Each structure stands twice: as structure tokens, then as C-alpha cells.
Amino acid sequence: MWWEHRLPLFDIYISPVVLEEARQGDPVAAQRRLEVLAGFPVLEATPPIERLAEMYMTQLALPGKAIRDAAHLAFACGYELDYLVTWNCAHIANAELQRRLMALNTASGLQTPIICTPEELMGVEEA
């Protein structure tokens, strides 16, 4: 499993949005999620990151309910992370959206991280 075998190989960062999402739902499960996340550095929500999220909302034509998705993209791109790992295939790990994001970021002089699910970041088995 990715969390057990691959996680230690990466420098992991989370955003305040990740913490906000982790607090939702069943209180017991939320507490467990927050305990796991407590060990990761939290990126700062800055005005440039907020502006980037707004740009992604409008320029990528994301639906209003996807504001957190735009924020995840903004943190990953704004902080020039190598990967954005997600299970959200509707608005983040979506090939059509990624193509538009790359074009927008290229025009804006921004780096686009590799966006993938944990399963896609399993590494290569040695023969």
C-alpha cells in the first residue's frame, strides 16, 4: 500500500484545505485523520495562493462546488510541488482538466505538478 511503502520516500506537505476537509464527517474518523496529518508541514495560505485559486476557478471553468479543488491546485502549483496526490478524479486527477491547467500555467509562467492517485505513484518494481 502507498501509505506504508512509498510515503516515507517523499517530503509530504498539506494545506489548510486538507485539514478543513479532514475535520468533516464522523467525529471519530475525523480525529483519526487529523492525528495522521499532524506530522506533516502545513503550507501557508497567502494572498498569491488565494489569487491563483480564484484564477483556476474562472479560467478552468470549475463549478462553484469545486472551490476546494481549485485551492488544492493553487497550493501545489504555487508552491512548485513535484506531485499532487489525490483520489479526486472529477476536478483534479482528470486528464482533460490537467491539459487545460498545464496550458494555463505555461502561459502564466507556473510549474504544473504531476497529478496522480496514490496507486499511480507506486514506483517501478525491479526485475
Which DSSP symbol is given to 11?
-
pLDDT digits (tens, 9 = 90+) for 35-61: 999 999 999 999 999 999 999 999 999
Angle (nearest 5°) at CA 101 between 96 and 102: 100
Q: What is the DSSP string of 26-55?
A: -HHHHHHHHHHHTTS-B----HHHHHHHHH
pTM listed for this prediction: 0.90
Paired strand residues for 47:
none
Alpha carbon distance 90, 95 (integer Å):
10
**Domain spans, the chain:** 44-116
Is the model's pLDDT at 101 over the cut of 60?
Answer: yes
Helix or strand holding residue 105 (H, E): helix 95-108
Rg (alpha carbons) of the chain, rounded to whole number: 15
> Span 76-83, mean pLDDT?
97
Alpha carbon distance 30, 8 (integer Å):
23
Give percent above pLDDT 70 in the chain. 94
* Amino acid present at 123: G
Paired strand residues for 85:
116
